[in-house]
């Protein structure tokens, strides 16, 4: 009586915890971020307990009021986080005691921190995946707009970073659209697996109360409830899966960044980044640096490091919960933040960049049409391998004379094959692009078809949202 109400966990201990240990084991400095999810989960749990008559209606009303008050306190910055309370779950529960008294102790009936933390982090992961998808959709729509706007632009396509064959610039841009489209699909598929309710698993064995897990699942928007209580509290593969998806997306962003960095050099000069997405040098006044792209490239390393570290955390853990699992959060939060901000800046960067079609065109010499010459002979009946060999010798001849292929005389052509006729001069970068009309190829018709399909997909997302 008269004693200050607070959470008591050290019933079996006779000594206080050492200060260094308290700091060492705490997750509060970083898991505060889960306060909303924790309260959301507790509200659903308490409501279920009351419905099942495990607590009374009156107790529910008190708990609910207390939890809502705490949420307001946290959001208004009035909540006092105490370092001796290990994590956000203990902090909120302790504050509930201070606010509503002993009845606070009933909230944790039929629940353990193990299924509680599994729930909170799943709620967070689901939200993160949804936000990531939304950001990726924006990026995709900017890429498609960019491709549509520049449909007439031809550029050199590369293999081994050597000029290979001409392609439409839009085709190149849509290659990235395809990667990010798959990234969206990956996360959509992920949502099915993350959207499973672990609460009701207790510490590991389930709980000895007549709980209604389906009700809690519906309340929190989960598609199903976990089928094995041990797995539900021990599993973090849903974090690893997001991190894997994030690592792939960051890898895609990093590759695109690499193009941006190379293309914006003076040597390439294919694109110019807007001032808003570049930085200047502190010493060289002429410089306009692609730091945004460099950082997206650099940050991808950290994201994939987090994936590796989480795999390492998990790989030797016996079932079920082990404290090692607390190491899931910092990396996960960091990955979510890094990924979402990287997508955001890259979206802005693409949206604001200028391209230089003339420079793209003039960077190509006639040698980029060598495959077209081989195809020309093949279409006149030569086996492709033979045609390839003839054109190879022709190229070598032209290089030896320091001249372009289209500057050679028809008599010179004929020395290599009698199949060469005057129409060989009709081979240009435009005809080359136009000829590649196989499905998924770079011909304008094919690229327009893909732009149309992409638009359809983006509209589908738009209507899904509304
Ligand atoms: N802070 C812990 C974590 O983030 C919460 C779960 C603690 N459970 C336990 N049995 N100590 O993983």
Q: What is the pLDDT of residue 3?
A: 46
Counting every residue written for the chain, the total comes to 466
Q: What is the pLDDT of residue 16?
A: 84
C-alpha–C-alpha distance, residues 377 and 424, integer Å: 10
Confirm or reject: Cβ of 116 under 6 Å from ligand 1. Answer: no
pLDDT band at 89 (very low <50, low <70, confident <90, very high): very high
Catalytic site residues?
Answer: 160, 281
Instruction: Write the CATH number of the domain with boundaries 366-465.
Output: 1.10.40.30
For 114-362, give the CATH class: mainly alpha
pLDDT band at 282 (very low <50, low <70, confident <90, very high): confident
Confirm or reject: Cβ of 416 under 6 Å from ligand 1. Answer: no
Domain spans in the chain, listed from the N-terminal domain onward: 19-109, 114-362, 366-465
Q: Is the pLDDT of residue 404 over 90?
A: yes
267 class by beta-carbon count within 10 Å (0-12 exposed, 13-18 middle, 19+ buried): exposed
Residue of 22, 31, 83, 87 to test ligand 1 pocket, by largest number of atoms within 8 Å of CB: 87
Nearest Cα to Cα of residue 410 among 399, 425, 430: 425
**What phi-psi label fits residue 417: left (phi over 0), alpha (psi between -120 and 50 degrees) or beta?**
beta
Once rounded to an integer, what is the mean pLDDT over residues 91-97?
A: 97
Confirm or reject: Cβ of 165 under 6 Å from ligand 1. Answer: no
What sign for the dihedral angle of Cα 362, 366, 371, 372?
positive
Confirm or reject: Cβ of 321 under 6 Å from ligand 1. Answer: yes
Buried-exposed string 217-235: b where 16+ CB fall within 10 A, e elsewhere: bebbebeebbeebbbbbbb
C-alpha–C-alpha distance, residues 338 and 299, integer Å: 7
308 CA from centroid of ligand 1 (Å): 22
Confirm or reject: Cβ of 263 under 6 Å from ligand 1. Answer: no
CATH architecture of the domain covering 19-109: Orthogonal Bundle (1.10)
85-94, 129-138, 417-426, 456-465, range with the lowest pLDDT: 456-465
* Residue 385: other Cβ atoms inside 10 A: 9
Shortest-distance Cα residue to atom 2 of ligand 1? 326
Q: Is the pLDDT of residue 1 over 60?
A: no
Tens digits of per-residue pLDDT, 8-34? 777 778 788 888 999 999 999 999 999
CB contact at 8 A, 429 and 154: yes
225 CA from centroid of ligand 1 (Å): 21
Question: Same CATH topology for 19-109 and 366-465?
Answer: no
Residue of 24, 113, 201 to test ligand 1 pocket, by largest number of atoms within 8 Å of CB: 113
Residue of 32, 117, 202, 325 to test ligand 1 pocket, by largest number of atoms within 8 Å of CB: 117
Tens digits of per-residue pLDDT, 47-73? 999 999 999 999 999 999 999 999 999
212 CA from centroid of ligand 1 (Å): 24
Q: What is the pLDDT of residue 17?
A: 85
Confirm or reject: Cβ of 326 under 6 Å from ligand 1. Answer: yes
CB contact at 8 A, 144 and 347: no
331 CA from centroid of ligand 1 (Å): 16
Confirm or reject: Cβ of 113 under 6 Å from ligand 1. Answer: yes
Report the alpha-carbon angle 388-394-396, nearest 5: 105
Shortest-distance Cα residue to atom 4 of ligand 1? 326
Confirm or reject: Cβ of 93 under 6 Å from ligand 1. Answer: no
Q: Is the pLDDT of residue 319 over 50?
A: yes
Average pLDDT over the chain reads 95
Report the alpha-carbon angle 316-190-230, nearest 5: 40
| Bridge partner residues of 197 (DSSP) | 225
């Amino acid at each position: 009586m008269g004693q200050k109400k607070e959470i008591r966990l050290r019933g079996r201990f006779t000594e206080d915890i050492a200060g260094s240990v308290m700091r060492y084991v705490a997750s509060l400095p970083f898991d505060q971020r889960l306060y909303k999810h924790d309260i959301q989960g507790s509200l659903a749990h308490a409501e279920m307990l009351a419905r099942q008559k495990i607590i009374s209606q009156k107790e529910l009303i008190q708990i609910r009021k207390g939890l809502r008050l705490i949420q307001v306190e946290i959001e208004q910055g009035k909540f006092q986080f105490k370092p001796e309370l290990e994590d956000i779950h203990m902090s909120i529960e302790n504050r509930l005691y201070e606010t509503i008294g002993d009845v606070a102790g009933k909230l944790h009936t039929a629940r353990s921190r193990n299924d509680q933390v599994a729930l909170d982090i799943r709620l967070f992961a689901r939200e993160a995946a949804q936000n990531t998808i939304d950001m990726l959709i924006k990026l995709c729509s900017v890429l498609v707009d960019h491709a549509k706007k520049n449909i007439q632009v031809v550029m050199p396509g590369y293999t081994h970073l050597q000029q290979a064959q001409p392609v439409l610039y839009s085709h190149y841009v849509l290659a990235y659209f395809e990667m990010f489209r798959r990234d969206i699909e990956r996360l959509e598929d992920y949502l099915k697996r993350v959207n499973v309710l672990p609460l009701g698993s207790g510490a590991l064995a389930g709980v000895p109360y007549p709980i209604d897990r389906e009700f809690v699942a519906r309340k929190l928007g989960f598609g199903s409830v976990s089928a094995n209580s041990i797995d539900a509290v021990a599993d973090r593969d849903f974090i690893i899966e997001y991190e894997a998806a994030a690592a792939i997306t960051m890898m895609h962003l990093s590759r695109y960044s690499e193009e941006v960095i190379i293309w914006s050099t003076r040597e390439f000069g294919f694109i110019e980044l807007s001032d808003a997405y570049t930085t200047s040098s502190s010493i060289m006044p002429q410089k306009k640096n692609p730091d945004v792209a460099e950082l997206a490239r650099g940050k991808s390393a950290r994201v994939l490091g987090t994936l590796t570290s989480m795999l390492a955390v998990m790989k030797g853990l016996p079932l079920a919960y082990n404290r090692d699992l607390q190491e899931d959060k910092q990396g996960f939060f960091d990955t979510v933040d890094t990924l979402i901000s990287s997508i955001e800046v890259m979206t802005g960067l693409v949206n604001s960049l200028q391209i230089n079609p003339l420079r793209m065109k003039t960077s190509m010499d006639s040698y980029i049409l060598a495959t077209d010459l081989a195809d020309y002979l093949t279409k006149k009946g030569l086996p492709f391998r033979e045609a390839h060999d003839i054109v190879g010798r022709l190229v070598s001849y032209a290089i030896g004379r320091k001249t372009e292929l289209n500057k050679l005389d028809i008599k010179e052509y004929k020395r290599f094959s009698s199949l060469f006729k005057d129409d060989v001069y009709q081979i240009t970068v435009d005809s080359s692009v136009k000829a590649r009309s196989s499905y998924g190829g770079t011909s304008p018709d094919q690229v327009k078809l893909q732009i149309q399909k992409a638009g359809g997909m983006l509209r589908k997302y738009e209507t899904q949202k509304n």
